[in-house]
Amino acid sequence: MVSSSCVHIVAALRRLLGAVSSQFAYDAEPDDRVLLTGEEPGTEHLEDVEHWIAVYAELITGARRPQGTGPESEERLEVELGRLRDRLAFWLRRRSELLPAR
């Protein structure tokens, strides 16, 4: 079952996909210009970090290729998926920073 917050996030992703432009080309560096509502990259709370890992993993998994659209839509989706992967990688690194050394 998908939580209501995830439903809102998916709706936000759909709006973002429509607004994303070529200026957000895939980059290995995380792009903090486009954050989801409530996302605080500097959080010290592991629970928050785990939440954003789950959110970005679900957004990546739930992304669907547009049906019957041209190459521009396909390229836009790839750019956005790259951004989502960057954000997930950021949160995974953040988790490793916050976890005690083992």
pTM over 0.75: no
pLDDT in tens, 71-95: 777 888 888 899 999 999 999 999 9
Give the chain's length: 102
pLDDT in tens, 30-71: 556 679 999 999 999 999 999 999 999 999 998 876 666 677
Contact 77, 65 (CB under 8 A): yes
Q: How far apart are CA 96 and CA 88, in angstroms?
A: 13
68 residue type, one letter: G
Q: Tally the C-alpha atoms within 13 A of residue 97's C-alpha that lie toward its C-beta.
A: 12
Q: Where are the domains of the chain?
A: 73-102
Q: Is residue 49 packed enough to be buried (19+ CB in 10 Å), middle (13-18) or exposed (0-12)? A: buried
